[in-house]
A and B are shown apart, each in its own frame.
Chain A
């Protein structure tokens, strides 16, 4: 009367019946966690957005110059073209050349 096929299928169905709500519940919990985390991310994103806005406002040239005037500098100082370096290696090269020239001058003075 109770064929194995029937028993197996019934058993499978029962297992599915039990596991489905379990899985569903677990998924619900996970989804809730994801939602909470997502909310946290969003609020952090919002804070970051506002912090960036503040940063760009505080570092805007107008405000920097106001602060500089408090310190004592009235203006941005224009950079002389001899002080513009394309890279740090250019700067060190020139510094080496200058120090070599200084050394040579010193030696010349010593000889005299």
Chain B
């Protein structure tokens, strides 16, 4: 603009003196002045505009980006629990994290150490004062009490000592103490799972996206309590060194109860190295004895070699095989039906049947059922069965459960498959999981026939498990009395039951380690009061199973339509 006006001046200028009087120059001067004024306005406007822009950007920045001023998420995470809850199948709480504190002392902040110690001694006589005194002398930060609750925290705070510091800490609490010790496991001080379900599902339990959803297990607290109580009482009655119990749903594989005794309180942290505290159901590896006869009979029926009524003639009193001699505990008739072989629990009869089946078929059966492989379960504590060596006589001894080891968990799961129509199941502790359909190992007809035989073991006069015959529950099963593998002094008395036999829903495994005859115990045996003649599972494990089924039966059957129809409505019709 200026350049332009200068240019104009030069054109219009006639003389130097009259320049200012020229109209055009006047106009130009006014224009020049107004142009200056406008420029200033623009400058001012630009200045204010920039100022507003800067403020707006700052406001937007504070509003949108700088969230920390009122960060609700931060507050939430401060209070949120580090691990999810674990509940049973009915939603009953098994474990939960709670906010607690560790009380610590910073000696540098104490004005009068003597006064401080007096205060502690008066208000907290349970604290180790001498130890605290020593630590105060060292002048280093130390903890005086771990895992204190709000009440204790307030009591300590009320001492008015700024040297006492409270470190927030999350503790894992187990509402049932020792009831689920072998299944749930424990966590360390940093909330990492170190055993049981806590370890197996460590990642899932810490998943922040699922923190409001508890981990639902298939276990039932009430049933677990009843079984635990009865087993404890049996250990006392029969002076056993330990015991185990497992209750599973034969169709789904849901584990309703898993008890291994002795157990321990998981609310207290302690290093346990004694082998007697292992999970006997999933980690314990045993020769389960006569329970295996069921599998031998099932195989013989499945391969159409026999049926339950086939008479096996001329069964010898003993079979010599290499250095082994296979005999029966009692003397049985020479000719036995297949059903009687199982009902009377004849070792020789089973060995005869196994020979008919043949080694190859038996081998293939064991391979299919994975009996000698690691058990599948959501626990870290699993046992490894001994590898089978198919040497001479192996077939005969395996037929009645000797020379083969497995975990009670695998044996019960296979038993479940034997009675559920023949389909293999995978035992599980997780509720609402996807259940995979497994292979069939025997046909439905074989399974049905087997159920009939197993019922006879319990309700016939010659059966070995009469003490488990609870009215209304149609219990069937098989006993097993054996020595522990590698330690012949160790005796294992076990019993696997199924109920109700007409359409089994549950399988209960009971095991007692080294039980003794209780001379003071009077049994009600088929209507006759008697004392135990032998130390066999029929007189201890079966007795315990009967007592357990009597108590858990109503809880299990309460939602069973079949049961209600058959026993409740029909009774009054």
Q: Is the CB of B568 within 8 A of A82?
A: yes
Q: Which of A52-73 contact B (CB under 8 A)?
A: 52-53, 56-57, 60-62, 65
Q: Are A46 and B176 in contact (CB under 8 A)?
A: no
Q: Which of B15-23, B271-279, B345-353, B553-561 contacts A (4 or more CB under 8 A)?
A: B553-561
Whether A104 sits at the interface, judged by CB under 8 Å, is no
| Contact call A35/B75, Cβ cutoff below 8 A | yes
A17 contacts the other chain (Cβ, under 8 Å)?
A: yes
Q: Is the CB of B567 within 8 A of A81?
A: yes
- Report if A31 contacts B (CB, 8 A): yes
Contact A24 B59 (CB under 8 A): yes
Q: What's the tally of chain A residues with a CB closer than 8 Å to chain B?
A: 38
Q: Which of A27, A43, A82 contacts B567 (CB 8 A)?
A: A82
Contacts of A62 in B (CB 8 A): 176-177, 179, 225
Docked complex Cα distance between A62 and B225 (Å): 7
Q: Is the CB of A17 within 8 A of B52?
A: yes
Whether B222 and A61, one on each chain, are in contact in the complex, defined by CB atoms closer than 8 angstroms, is yes
Residues of A within 8 A of B567 (CB): 81-82, 84
For A61, give the chain B residue with the smallest CB separation: B225
A45 CA to B561 CA in the complex, in Å?
39
Interface string of A24-61 (1 = CB under 8 A from B): 10011001101100110011011001101100110011
Interface string of A70-90 (1 = CB under 8 A from B): 000000101101101110001
What residues of chain A lie closer than 8 Å to B572, measured between beta carbons? Answer: 94, 97-98
Q: A97 to chain B: closest CB distance in Å?
A: 6
Which residues of chain B from 215 to 231 have a CB within 8 Å of any chain A CB?
A: 221-222, 225-226, 229
Residues from chain B with Cβ under 8 Å of A97 in the complex: 572
Q: Tell me if B96 counts as interface (CB < 8 A to partner A).
A: yes
Chain B interface category by residue count:
35 or more
Per DSSP, are chain A's interface residues mostly helix, strand or loop, or mixed? Answer: helix
Question: Which residues of the other chain, A, contact B558 by a CB distance below 8 angstroms?
Answer: 84
List residues of chain A with CB within 8 A of the CB of B472. 81
* Complex interface: chain B residues within 8 A of A45 (CB): 79
B315 within 8 A of A: no
**Chain B residues within an 8 Å CB radius of A78:** 550-551, 553-554
How far apart are the CA atoms of A31 and B92 in the complex, in Å? 37
List CB contacts (< 8 Å) of B519-543 with chain A.
Answer: none
Cβ-closest chain A residue relative to B223: A61
Residues of chain A within 8 A (CB-CB) of B179 are 60, 62
Q: In the complex the two chains form, is B93's CB within 8 Å of A50's CB?
A: no
B158 proximal to A (CB < 8 A): no
Closest-CB distance, A48 to chain B (whole angstroms): 11
User: Which residues of B have CB within 8 Å of A43?
Assistant: 79
Interface residue from A50, A76, A82, A86 paired with B98 (Cβ < 8 Å): A50
Q: Which residues of B contact A65 (CB under 8 A)?
A: 225, 229
Q: Which of B72, B222, B554 contacts A79 (CB 8 A)?
A: B554
Separation of A34 and B159 alpha carbons in the complex (Å): 33
- Given the interface pairs A24-B63, A78-B554, the reply to whether A49 lies near B176 with Cβ below 8 Å is no
Smallest CB–CB gap between A72 and chain B, Å?
A: 18
In the complex, the answer to whether A52 meets B568 with C-beta atoms within 8 Å is no
Query: A79 CB to closest chain B CB, in angstroms?
Result: 4
Q: Are B554 and A56 in contact (CB under 8 A)?
A: no
Q: How far is the CA of A27 from the CA of B201 in the complex (A)?
A: 43
- Knowing A42-B76, A56-B92, the reply to whether A31 touches B70 (Cβ < 8 A) is yes
Chain B residues with CB under 8 A of A82? 567-568, 571
For B176, the chain A residues whose CB sits under 8 A away are 60, 62
Contacts of A20 in B (CB 8 A): 56, 59
Contact A84 B175 (CB under 8 A): no
Determine whether the beta carbon of A53 is less than 8 Å from that of B98.
yes
Which of chain B's residues have a CB closer than 8 A to the CB of A60? 175-176, 179, 221, 225
B35 lies within 8 A of chain A by Cβ: no
B173 within 8 Å of A by Cβ?
A: yes
Which residues B466-504 have CB closer than 8 A to chain A? 471-472
**Chain A residues numbered 1-31 whose CB sits less than 8 Å from any CB in chain B:** 13, 17, 20, 24, 27-28, 31
B222 touches A46 (CB 8 A): no
What CA separation (Å) do A76 and B548 show in the bound complex?
12
Are A34 and B72 in contact (CB-based, < 8 A)? yes
Docked pose: A55 CA to B557 CA in angstroms: 27
Chain B residue numbers with a CB within 8 Å of A50 are 98
A76, B79: Cβ atoms closer than 8 Å: no
Distance from B385 Cβ to chain A, minimum over Cβ atoms (Å): 34
Are B70's CB and A49's CB within 8 A?
no
A90 to B472, CA, bound (A): 19
- Please indicate the chain A residues that have their CB under 8 angstroms from the CB of B471 in the complex: 81
CB distance from A44 to the nearest CB of B (A): 11
Contact indicator A81/B568 (Cβ below 8 Å): yes
Chain A residue with the shortest CB-CB distance to B34: A1
Q: Tell whether B99 is near chain A: CB-to-CB under 8 Å.
A: yes
* Residues of chain B lying within 8 A (CB to CB) of residue A85: 564, 568
A24 to B550, CA, bound (A): 70
B75 near A42: Cβ-Cβ < 8 Å? yes
Point out the residues of chain B lying under 8 angstroms from A52, CB to CB: 93, 96
Q: How far is the CA of A13 from the CA of B96 in the complex (A)?
A: 56
Q: Are B557's CB and A39's CB within 8 A?
A: no
Max chain B Cβ within 10 angstroms of own Cβ: one of A28, A86, A90, A97: A86
Contact (Cβ within 8 A) B561 A42: no
| Nearest CB on A from B257, distance (A) | 12
User: Contact at A84–B557, with CB atoms within 8 Å?
Assistant: yes
Most buried by A among B70, B98, B173, B553: B70
Extra contacts besides A28-B70, A53-B98 (18): CB < 8 Å: A20-B59, A31-B70, A39-B75, A43-B79, A50-B98, A52-B96, A56-B93, A57-B175, A60-B225, A78-B550, A79-B554, A81-B563, A84-B558, A85-B568, A86-B568, A90-B568, A94-B569, A97-B572
Could you show 10 A-B contacts with beta carbons less than 8 Å apart? Answer: A20-B59, A34-B72, A35-B72, A42-B76, A45-B79, A49-B98, A76-B226, A85-B568, A86-B568, A90-B569
Closest 9 pairs (CB-CB, A-B)? A61-B225, A56-B93, A79-B554, A31-B70, A86-B564, A81-B472, A56-B175, A42-B79, A57-B175
